[in-house]
């Protein structure tokens, strides 16, 4: 599985676009049609959720009907509780992720560009990369305490390797012809980074960021379940302990929605970062 | 007046340790592609370089362009030894080498941009050169939205923005279809006659070589040296009709005669040609 993650999804397509110049037909309106086509099943799922506890197929104490969950959700939103918990979770994830970006991109550039540096660092990076951030949570708590620092540390750790690996792949895959052309025009080393290697690597970095953001969010939730007094993970875990199962499901649904929105936001970002690729046969 | 002088250029490529190829019956890990090439190119001259694959045409261009170092010998521009890319020169590649994330206009601006030319000035100059190639109105297209011929026009426009004294062109039209190729050859001549820079143009096409050149430099099969230089005394300006004249046919025949043996030699050299890529 780890091997799969090393190859960003955009790698092969990035080359196809530039090399072959062939317009890749990406059927437009596909997201809408999958949404429409998938709607009946989603509605059926929701209906089952509503009916099953009401007909006694499931215990409503552990599995309340969807309507009660939504009512609980509205209450949590109205009281500001949900906003507070989501806010703190997102803040932790964003801080950890931001830190990961700040570390991974310069490091990735160095590792991708300077072979001796990569040779010296690769083994350590691979070792750390294959150490689960969840396994390290107790370590972070021991070293950094139960407060914000340990949460930020785990989100950082979760995201940094996705970004790092993709940055390295991006930097390494720069078309040698573009480097040669840039050199023939007298490009300085600094401009080579800024104007050639970095723009080339952006689609790779953004693909890594998509994976990294998800990993950050998941990690912060897990960390909050294990050791926190705030955040959406804490809310879910605490509701379960208090047997407020409607609140628990409300928290889970919220998390799902946040995850979906983040994903769409990142897909949009990815499209923007690669807007210069031919999206269809028709030039704009 | 001489612009570019190459004296006894040699270039030997070293394979990775452990890799060997069979050259003339002997296993070796070094391939010599240039073997003491001498060539003098005059100011404002249009030179085409023809020769079988592996004869070191592109390597010669890279040495003149300062992109690779000769193993021995040296190349000079106006008497100065070339050791790195020289601002008086510009390079055009077969595969266009446009930055896919930059629009046509931004691509053309690039060469001036890295020289620190102000935005207003480089923009104006880029527009000028794009319109010179009939690309007015396509400034905001990305390379992926342009045909191969248009992309190569953008690349040539980019190379001309810095007012180069020497233009190095490595099979610039080889990836294009026959008609586009004809049109671009004529366009290049039209613009070259206005600018008057020195051009060194590598090609596989004898027809193209004769049509464009003041002198055709024919190279031997690997390891390459200059086999013969053929003066092309066809009148200028030339248009594509000149191909139908007996004079053109005769020159084409002469170049082909010079090359024939070398191409046959090179056929035996396939493994090497692919190992060294040109």
- In SS3 terms, A10-79 reads as HHHHHHHHHHHCCCCCCCCCHHHHHHHHHHHHHHHHHHHHHHHHHCCCCCCCCCCCHHHHHHHHHHHHHC
- Supply A108's token pair: 């990735």
d(CA B89, CA B154): 17
A156 vs A272, more confident: A156
For range A47-57, the mean pLDDT: 93
Using CB atoms, which residue from B97, B114, B143 is nearest to A186?
B114
How far A283 CA lies from chain B's nearest CA (Å)? 5
Quote the longest CA-to-CA distance of chain A.
76
Q: Which of A96, A124, A91 is nearest to A215 (CA)?
A: A96
pLDDT per residue over A237-273, tens digit each? 999 999 999 999 999 999 999 998 998 888 888 888 8
d(CA A36, CA B59): 58
Are residues A185 and B142, on separate chains, in Cβ contact within 8 Å?
A: no
A284 touches B at CB < 8 Å: yes
The C-alpha R_g of chain A, in whole angstroms, comes to 23
pLDDT per residue over B3-61, tens digit each? 888 888 889 888 877 777 777 677 778 888 888 889 999 999 999 999 888 788 999 99
Chain B residue set in contact with A, beta carbons under 8 Å: 65-67, 85, 87, 89-91, 93, 95, 97, 99-103, 110-111, 113-115, 141-146, 148, 151, 162
- Supply A89's token pair: 């979770």
Are residues B93 and A195, on separate chains, in Cβ contact within 8 Å?
A: no
Using CB atoms, which residue from B101, B111, B143 is nearest to A185?
B111
Strand partners, B28: B21
d(CA B78, CA A111): 41
How far B164 CA lies from chain A's nearest CA (Å)? 11
A15 touches B at CB < 8 Å: no
pLDDT for B271 beyond 60: no
pLDDT for A12 beyond 80: no
Q: Where are the alpha helices (DSSP H) in chain B?
A: 57-64, 104-113, 119-132, 148-160, 178-195, 206-212, 246-267, 270-276
For range B103-124, the mean pLDDT: 94
**8 A C-beta contact, residue A156 and residue A99:** yes
Q: Which of B259, B162, B246, B251 is nearest to B214 (CA)?
A: B251
pLDDT per residue over B95-104, tens digit each? 999 999 999 9
Top-tier CATH class for A85-277: mainly alpha
Q: Is the ipTM of this complex over 0.90?
A: no
Q: Where in chain B are all domains bearing CATH 3.40.50.300?
A: 2-88+164-276
Strand partners, B215: B47, B231
Q: What is the pLDDT of residue A7?
A: 39
**CB-based burial, A179-188: b 16+ in 10 Å, e otherwise:** bbbbbbbbbe
Residue B179 to residues A4, B138, B175, B182, B209, Cα–Cα distance (Å): 45, 21, 12, 5, 16
CB pairs under 8 A between A and B: 72
For range A87-113, the mean pLDDT: 95
Residue B208 CB contacts under 8 Å (≥ 6 apart), including other chains: B48, B173, B181, B185
Q: How confident is the model at residue A14 (pLDDT cuts 50, 70, 90)?
A: very low
CATH topology for the B2-88+164-276 domain: Rossmann fold (3.40.50)
The helix (run of H) or strand (run of E) holding residue A116 is helix A115-129
For range B168-172, the mean pLDDT: 95
């Amino acid at each position: 599985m780890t091997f799969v993650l090393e190859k960003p999804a955009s790698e092969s397509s990035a080359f196809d676009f530039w090399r072959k110049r062939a317009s890749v037909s990406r059927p437009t309106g596909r997201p809408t049609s999958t949404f429409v086509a998938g709607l009946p099943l989603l509605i059926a799922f929701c209906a089952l959720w509503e009916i099953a506890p009401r007909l006694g197929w499931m215990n409503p104490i552990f599995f309340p009907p969807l309507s009660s969950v939504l009512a609980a959700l509205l209450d949590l939103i109205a009281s500001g509780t949900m906003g507070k918990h989501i806010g703190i979770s997102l803040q932790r994830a964003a801080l950890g992720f931001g830190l990961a970006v700040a570390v991974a991109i310069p490091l990735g550039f160095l590792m991708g560009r300077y072979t001796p540096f990569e040779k010296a660092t690769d083994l350590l990076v691979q070792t750390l990369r294959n150490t689960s951030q969840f396994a390290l949570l107790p370590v972070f708590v021991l070293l950094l305490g139960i407060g914000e620092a340990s949460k930020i540390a785990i989100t950082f750790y979760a995201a940094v390797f996705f970004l790092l690996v993709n940055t390295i792949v991006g930097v390494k895959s720069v078309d040698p012809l573009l480097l040669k052309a840039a050199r023939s025009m007298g490009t300085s080393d600094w401009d080579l980074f800024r104007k050639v290697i970095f723009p080339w690597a952006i689609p790779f970095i953004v693909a890594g960021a998509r994976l990294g953001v998800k990993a950050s969010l998941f990690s912060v939730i897990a960390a909050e379940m294990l050791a926190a007094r705030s955040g959406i993970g804490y809310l879910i875990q605490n509701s379960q302990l208090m047997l407020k199962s409607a609140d628990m499901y409300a928290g889970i649904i919220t998390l799902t929605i946040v995850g979906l929105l983040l994903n769409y936001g990142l897909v949009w970002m990815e499209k923007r970062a690669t807007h210069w690729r031919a999206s269809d046969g028709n030039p704009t | 007046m001489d612009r570019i002088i190459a004296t006894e250029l040699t270039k030997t490529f070293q394979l990775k340790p452990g890799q060997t190829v069979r050259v003339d019956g002997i296993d070796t890990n070094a391939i010599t592609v240039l073997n003491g090439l001498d060539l003098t190119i005059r100011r404002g001259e249009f030179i085409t370089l023809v020769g079988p694959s592996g004869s070191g045409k592109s390597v010669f261009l890279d040495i003149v362009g300062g992109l690779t170092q000769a193993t021995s010998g040296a190349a000079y521009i106006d008497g100065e030894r070339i050791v790195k890319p020289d601002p008086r020169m510009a390079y055009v590649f077969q595969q266009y080498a446009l930055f896919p994330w930059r629009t046509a206009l931004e691509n053309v601006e690039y060469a001036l941009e890295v020289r620190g030319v102000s935005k207003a000035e480089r923009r104006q100059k880029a527009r000028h050169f794009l319109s010179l190639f009939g690309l007015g109105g396509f400034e905001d297209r990305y390379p992926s939205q342009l045909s191969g011929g248009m992309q190569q026009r953008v690349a040539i426009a980019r190379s001309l923005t810095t007012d180069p004294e020497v233009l190095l062109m490595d099979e610039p039209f080889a990836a294009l279809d026959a008609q586009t190729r004809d049109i671009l050859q004529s366009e290049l001549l039209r613009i070259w006659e206005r600018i008057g820079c020195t051009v060194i143009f590598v090609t596989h096409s004898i027809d193209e070589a004769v049509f464009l050149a003041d002198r055709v430099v024919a190279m031997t099969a690997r390891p390459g040296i200059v086999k013969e230089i053929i003066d092309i005394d066809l009148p200028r300006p030339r248009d594509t009709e000149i191909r139908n004249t007996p004079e053109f046919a005769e020159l084409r025949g002469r170049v082909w005669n010079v090359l024939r043996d070398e191409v046959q030699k090179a056929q035996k050299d396939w493994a090497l040609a692919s190992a060294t890529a040109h």
